[in-house]
């Protein structure tokens, strides 16, 4: 093999080739090699700048390089990063208390820290087994993670089928269909698991009446109501949690993405002593669970959201985005779905992959979450001017995507 390179070392292409020779290809070929970020902006290894409207998939709540997160994590890593759950730390206890406070959880509630969303969902599944029942009801379009337990709740067949058989007794019902839910939930149901907004399905919002009906139906049969807030939680919808708008009190919620602002932490929160008492000493655990480093990150995320008034900001930015896209009055745009800063721009044809590619060339990161939907889950600190930059560029991006789709069709024999 020749030692000469066509491309300079450490260029995008060279690193992506090395990636494909060293990582299991589950993510396909990454779109870019990124190097650093600041606020809602990231830079690739060629120095090209992008407005990051993906936000690490709703993870980078405070954006990149936020001084509060940098300071909290730097201080904590210099003190101690990890200690095991034979011991606890001040930051772990404080984070649990703060999570319970913002969730409005009653006395006797509790937190189990996990390391990811899927693991938080695993905790919820184990919790549900402690009811003595095995039935689980989830929604069509649902995404609850990729570990084998959580995967059974995830709806997409292409994710599940290569790994069958998964845990049994899972029923998927049409989302937002109260009658279907009533019909599926019985005295054999351990838990109903629902997202307040289905992020991976393209920001499809639960009707508050649907969540209230889910509360009523589960209470009637003695099943748990688990709300998966992995994507919607921690301010993403403009409330601390997506369920809060409906006024219900769930039995448990699962958290992850935004909680650590980029550090890997998840949580299962159980509401009230009856539910919290279902898991007893020795029945669950995890080595990294809520270690001081990730707990310090979580505390700085929560305190910064409060200090910077980000819940109101998210609400305002979400409304602004909807209004700005509507004002384009673009014939190819059907509308904007979602809540807060969990949004999808819905197109009238399957152009989202082309739009996302054109956006990347033009310096915007967005996610083609469905063939006809572009998901925007930017950092909660994104500004009006930053959102306006993208909305102003959108007609040209759609035009580019349309042109390349037409050209591709003409070249197909
Ligand atoms: C992302 C997501 C998960 C899985 O989280 P991971 O950290 O990827 O395991 C679970 N539920 C919902 C609603 C999610 O959006």
The reported pLDDT for the residue numbered 412 is 66
The rounded distance, in Å, linking the Cα atoms of 260 and 258 is 6
Pairing mode, strands 367-370 and 204-205? unpaired
Is the bond preceding 335 in cis, omega lying within 30 degrees of 0? no
- State the average pLDDT over residues 347-363: 98
**What's the CA gap between 258 and 181, in Å, rounded?**
29
| Mutate which of 54, 58, 119, 143 for ligand 1 pocket (most atoms within 8 A of beta carbon) | 143
Q: What is the pLDDT of residue 3?
A: 46
Ligand-binding annotation for 118, yes or no, is yes
The catalytic residue among 52, 228, 239, 251 is: 228
Active site includes 75? no
390 marked as binding residue: no
Measured between alpha carbons, how far is 190 from 176 in angstroms, rounded to an integer? Answer: 20
- Render pLDDT for 289-335 as a digit per residue (tens, 0 to 9): 999 999 999 999 999 999 999 999 999 999 999 999 999 999 999 99
Least confident of 65-69, 227-231, 406-410: 406-410
pLDDT of 8 above 80: no
Any catalytic annotation for residue 390? no
Q: Measured between alpha carbons, how far is 347 from 326 in angstroms, rounded to an integer? A: 12
User: Nearest residue CA, atom 15 of ligand 1?
Assistant: 231
pLDDT at 46 over 60: yes
Q: Which of 74, 57, 83 is nearest to 300 (CA)?
A: 74
- Longest CA span, the chain: 71
Give me the pLDDT at residue 1, please. Answer: 41
> In 3D, which of 215, 224, 205, 202 has the Cα closest to residue 376?
202
Give the model's pLDDT for residue 233. 98
Tell me the CA–centroid distance for residue 199 and ligand 1, in Å. 9
Per-residue model confidence as pLDDT tens digits over 266-280:
999 999 999 999 999
Average pLDDT over residues 106-121: 98
| Mean predicted lDDT score pLDDT of the chain | 96
Please say if 156 is a catalytic residue.
Answer: no
- How many of the other CB atoms lie within 10 Å of CB of 47? 8
143 is in an annotated binding site: yes
Check if the beta carbon of residue 398 is closer than 8 Å to that of residue 362.
no
Domains of the chain: 3-63+309-385 (3.90.1150.10), 68-307 (3.40.640.10)
Tens digit of each residue's pLDDT (9 = 90 or more) over 170-199 = 999 999 999 999 999 999 999 999 999 999
Contact indicator for 368, 304 with CB cutoff of 8 Å? no
State the closest ligand 1 atom to the C-alpha of 198, by its place in the atom list counted from 1: 13
- Cα torsion angle, 182, 184, 189, 190, sign: negative
- Residue 166 pLDDT > 60: yes
Q: Is 266 annotated as a binding residue?
A: no
Give the Å distance between the CA of 58 and the centre of ligand 1: 10
Beta-sheet strands, E only, within 189-341: 189-194, 197-198, 204-205, 224-228, 252-255, 266-270, 333-339
What pLDDT is attached to residue 407?
Answer: 87
In a 3-state reduction of DSSP, which class is residue 191? Answer: strand
């Amino acid at each position: 093999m020749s030692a000469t390179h066509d491309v300079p070392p450490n260029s995008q292409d060279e690193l992506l080739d090395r990636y494909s020779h060293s990582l299991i290809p589950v993510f396909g070929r990454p779109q870019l090699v990124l190097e650093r970020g600041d606020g809602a902006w990231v830079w690739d290894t060629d120095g090209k700048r992008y407005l990051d409207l993906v936000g690490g998939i709703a993870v980078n709540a405070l954006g990149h390089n936020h001084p509060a997160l940098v300071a909290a994590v730097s201080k904590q890593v210099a003190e101690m990063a990890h200690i095991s759950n034979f011991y606890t730390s001040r930051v772990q206890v404080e984070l649990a208390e703060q999570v319970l406070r913002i969730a409005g959880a009653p006395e006797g509630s509790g937190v189990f820290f996990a390391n990811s969303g899927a693991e938080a969902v695993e905790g919820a599944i184990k919790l549900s087994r402690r009811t003595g029942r095995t039935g689980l009801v989830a929604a069509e379009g649902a995404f609850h993670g990729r570990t084998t337990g959580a995967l059974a709740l995830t709806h997409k067949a292409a994710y599940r089928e290569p790994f069958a058989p998964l845990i049994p007794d899972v029923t998927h019902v049409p989302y937002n269909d109260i009658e279907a839910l009533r019909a599926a939930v019985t005295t054999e149901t351990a838990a109903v698991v629902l997202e307040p907004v289905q992020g991976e399905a393209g920001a499809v919002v639960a009707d508050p009446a649907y969540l209230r009906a889910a509360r009523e139906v589960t209470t009637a049969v003695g099943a748990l109501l688990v709300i998966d807030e992995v994507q919607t939680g921690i301010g993403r919808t403009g409330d601390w949690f997506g369920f809060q708008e409906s006024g219900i009190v769930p039995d448990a919620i699962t958290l992850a993405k935004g909680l650590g602002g980029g550090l890997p932490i998840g949580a299962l929160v159980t509401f009230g002593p009856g539910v919290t008492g279902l898991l007893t000493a020795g029945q669950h655990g995890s080595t990294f669970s809520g270690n001081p480093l990730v707990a310090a990150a979580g505390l700085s995320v929560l305190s910064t959201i409060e200090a910077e008034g980000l819940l109101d900001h998210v609400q305002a930015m979400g409304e602004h985005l909807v209004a700005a896209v509507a004002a384009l009055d673009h014939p190819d745009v059907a509308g904007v779905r979602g809540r807060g800063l969990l949004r999808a721009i819905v197109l009238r044809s399957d152009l989202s992959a082309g739009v996302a590619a054109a956006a990347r060339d033009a310096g915007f990161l967005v996610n083609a979450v469905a063939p006809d939907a572009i998901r925007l889950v930017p950092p909660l600190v994104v500004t009006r001017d930053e959102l306006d930059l993208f909305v102003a560029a959108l007609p040209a991006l759609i035009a580019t995507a349309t042109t390349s789709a037409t050209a591709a069709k003409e070249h197909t024999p």
